[in-house]
Structure 1
C-alpha cells in the first residue's frame, strides 16, 4: 500500500473506500477495506456502514448480511445502529418483512446486537403491513428487553379493524411489564374497538380480562359510555 515513499494514512484509506462505494465497486471496496484492516489500520463504523448500506441498496442483499457479520467481528457493538437499520430496510425491500425479522432476531440472540428504536418501529410497521402480526408482537418483546417502550400504535390500529380477541390478548401478553402495565394496553384496545363499532368483540375481550382491569375506573367509564350511546345509535339506524 506504499508507493514512491508515500504511506497513506487512515483518512486516505477511508476516502479510497468511500470513492469505490460511490462508484459502485463494492467487491473492490470490500476487499480493499479488509486488506487495510488486516495490515493494522482500523476503520470507523462510518466506513463499514457505508459498505453495508450500498450492498443493502443493491441486488445482492445477502452480501449485505455477510458484510454486517464481518463488520461485527471486526469492530465493537456500540456503533452499528445505522448499518443495521439500512440492512433491515434492504432486506424488507428485497425479501419481505418476515425475512428481515428473522435476520434481526438472529443478530440479537446470537450477537447481542442492539438495534435503534427507529429500526424496531420500522419493522413493526412493515410486519403488520404484510400480515405478520405475531412476528410484530415478537419485535415488541425485543423492544421491551432493550428498554424501549413497545410501539403498540400500529398493532392496535390493525387489531381494532380486523383482529380477534386472541390477537388483542397476544398484544397484551407481548407488551405488559411493570413499566408498561397491561391496563394501559387494555384501555387502548377497548377504546379502539368501540371506535370501530366492534361492540361484540370488545365485550368478549372484557370478559377475558383480569378483574383488576374490569373494575378499573377508566375501563368502567368506556363501557358506561358505550351503553349510553347504543340506544342512540339504534334509533338513528331505525330512522
Structure 2
C-alpha cells in the first residue's frame, strides 16, 4: 500500500489545517490516510467523499468519521468551539446547497460559525433585498450561484464586504457545468468580487478564513458582529 505523507505543518504555515481531497482515491488509500491522522491524534477534513465511497470504508473507519452526505465531507476528530467572525453564505437556490454546505463544514472544521441565506437568487430579487440588512452585518460574503451567476454582481453592488464568488455547476444548455456562472463572476462590473473555481466551496471558505485572519492581524481582534436574525444552516 502507498504511504501517504500528510502536511501536518500546514496550519502553522498557512493558518488552515490539513484537508484531503478524496475524489479518485481508493477506499484503502482513504483508510490509510485516516489511520495516519488518528495515530497522530490530528483532526482531518475529507472533501469530495461521495456516499458510495464512504459506505465502502471499513466499519471502524466509518465510526471515526462525522460524514455529511450533502456536502460530501467527513471530519475526523472534534471541531473547535465556533466563533462568530462575521462570515455570510448567500446561496441563489437550494440546488447550490451541496457546495454551500461544503463551505459551512470547512468553516466549522476551522472553528468558525457561518450564517446562511438560502434561495435568494435574482429570479426573485425581492427575497434578497428583504435580507440585505442582515447580509450587510457581515465582514465577508461568500456567494453561490449557477445558471447565469447574476447574484455575484448584484451582491457586490450592495455590500461593503468583499464578495467571494463560487460558481456552481447548476444549469443546463449554455449554463451547463457552471461555465456561464464562472464567466459572469470573472467579468463582473461590480468591484470587489473575488472568484474561485466552479463548485469550490472549500477554497472559498479558506479564502474567507484568511480574510478574517487579516482583520485580526490588523486590529488585534475582529470587531464584534451585531447579533443577527439570520439563520445558521442546520
With the length of structure 1 as denominator, give the TM-score of the two structures. 0.28
The one of the two structures with greater contact order (alpha-carbon pairs below 8 A, sep at least 6) is 2
More strand by share: 2
